[in-house]
Structure 1
């Protein structure tokens, strides 16, 4: 199924890569390693990523109480092309207190592993998050750049 899907889309001019999985716990890493190994060996020219959980996810979702450990194990087990975390930092009452520590954790693991990381920006209202203002976009993107994304 992966082969036929990749063959169908990978040459399209707008295709930039594939999201392989969204927000895994550490319990999913071994199964996902099979998929990332496949991509690296069979279709190395296709960019892919797996969106990690943010640092405000519960220990039950992370399968650990150590967020740096969660990201480090992710990197060591899956050898991703890119580290990426979906961190919805903009709340109605302001910026989530975990926002900067999450960027710091990404930077720490990224530098240690020599794997680049992407900064995530909430760009549209979602759930309890407010209508997104230009100042929200600037805060998220410039902060990501300042931390090395």
Structure 2
């Protein structure tokens, strides 16, 4: 670390733990195979709970709240795309993503012209600097040397 653990990007990210897959899983499957991409997606999903479990076990107070990810559609075209995204997520191993009716989605968020929603449980809010510093403290207690103030 150029300054100290948690100072840079690790302590300033968007503030969430997410199993949402970056990139295009279909393209990844062409290179690595479908089974490996499904396993990767399931690992991404499980990683959210693993980070939360480690933080709890090690008493790291990082303001973590596992609230999931809510997407909404406000017109029929968006609703079609949202349903397709849910179907795709299920095809790639996220079996517990759900479609929410307009009424179900409205119980979670107020949005004008709400048509449809979806909910993916594999997402949590986190204070990234607290998590990074807490993890640094844990690994140092375990005997790991973190090289800080380096370039």
Same fold (TM over 0.5): no
Q: Which of structures 1 and 2 has the bigger CA Rg?
A: 2
Q: Which has the higher contact order (CA 8 A, sep 6+)?
A: 2
TM-score, L = length of structure 1: 0.30
